[in-house]
Structure 1
Amino acid sequence: MSERRWSIGELARASGVTVRTLHHYDRIGLVSPGERTPAGHRRYVEADVRRLYRVRTLCGMGLSLDEVAVVLRNAADDPGSLRGLLTAQLTDLEARAARIEESAQRLRGLLARLAEAVMPEPEQFLAALEPMSVDTGRYLSAGQLETITGRAAKLGGGAIETLKTEWLELFSRLRQHLLDGTPVDDPAVQELVARWRATAAAFHPGGSRFEAATTALWEDNRAGLGRELDERVGWSGPGGAAEVVDYLRKARAAGEDIPEEKDE
């Protein structure tokens, strides 16, 4: 039987990855169409589909696109290599499923108490809340925690909730630009970066020193924090939180390189 081919539109529809994302993968050399038709149209072949699966899986496990490129540089396209990747993905998914089931069990306990017209104990609510939160305390130093909690106390609960809402909106819009393959220096992306900086400045004082500390925190704990953020905001599939943060960091760097317009 002859090998199947896919146009970029066909592959996008079949995989759930946008055409712009596939173009972006092609530009950076991650996944490129392996053949051309006699008329010159580019077509993806079966090996390209397997490579796309590797890319999406590794991204879903918390690797940046640069890290994915390094992993795939010498990766063989054979059953043994794919078996290792699938095993790692399955282990990751099973760990997530275990955490979800733990949360579900705690919620069932709350519902069972309410079904008996009995108010659950405060400890039950706290136990149910714990897995829903990103436990940044595990990653921050005592000084960093003191700075953040002190700032939160000064801002007040209402301001904190407003900032959280703004953060989630910006994060979601950046994610869509990432999935669409929007260049990081695009004006629409840079406008979101400016809003992000304003939000971060309101919540995280301390200037460049604090920002450097949080950057180091992210680099040291990227995979774990990315997974916790995904679970917190309910994201799955392409465009995980870790990828969005990497995209944001590249957009911020690109913005620093864009020259300011001068009045004539």
Structure 2
Amino acid sequence: MTQPIVSVNWLSKHLDHPDLVILDATIKKVTAPDESTNSNLKIKGARFFDIKNVFSDITTDIPNMLPTAEAFSEACKSLGISSHHTIVVYDTLGIYSSPRVRWMFIAMGHQNVAVLDGGFPAWQKAEQPCEIDDAKPQEYNRGDFKASYIPKLVTNAKTVLIEMNAENTLILDARSPGRFTASEPEPRKSLKGGHIPNSMNLHYTKVLDDGKMRPTAELQEILQHFNIEDKKLIFTCGSGITACIIMLAAELAGYHDVSVYDGSWSEWGQLDDVPIQC
């Protein structure tokens, strides 16, 4: 695996490779809970990567928080994932939750992972092999995955408080402009409106085109407007999902000093002792 994304054509050619694991990381958009996810079909041989119920820290009320390295390793082993596997992640919305899973694996020390560009819609459009997903729990030969946590890829609220005022750091927020400025309400009603001081808004849809990542040259042009050369980049959003989309875009554009604020606005928007701008 040499790139953070792979094409439908690449996956089709390697579909039956014994060292390949395909993960369906589909979740519903928090802003569109009734949207169809084509959940009755999946890519041939895909395994369901349950972000919400298995691969999140269930001891906190903040959604989608990264689990411990031990818990992540154990869940991967149960899913039949080993450290030697090449992993391709997709979701049924094109590119939505799959970059989150890629970031999780990289944060856990597994570099051999990529996002399927265009996700399941692109796979279906190309008439590639699918199968019925009966939603029954599957049993796999136990893997030997072992996480090696990389802290610099994960940022917490305490660090954000410091970094938001740093000259060589930029925080990019993937939420919609309306949520960023508090001109439209948060989908989670318990949260305040607004954004982290000194952060800038890059709605995740700007880096996508019909469910696929825009070409590298277009991503570079988009990001150049933020004057981020040689800066540390911290990505945030509502709950740590779409932040990973714009982080992926930044990586494709050539930026590598990157991390994700894992708690994102689901945490910051409910804290009492942090500043908020509107």
TM-score over 0.5 for the alignment? no
Structure label with greater radius of gyration: 1
Task: Indicate the structure with greater strand content.
Answer: 2
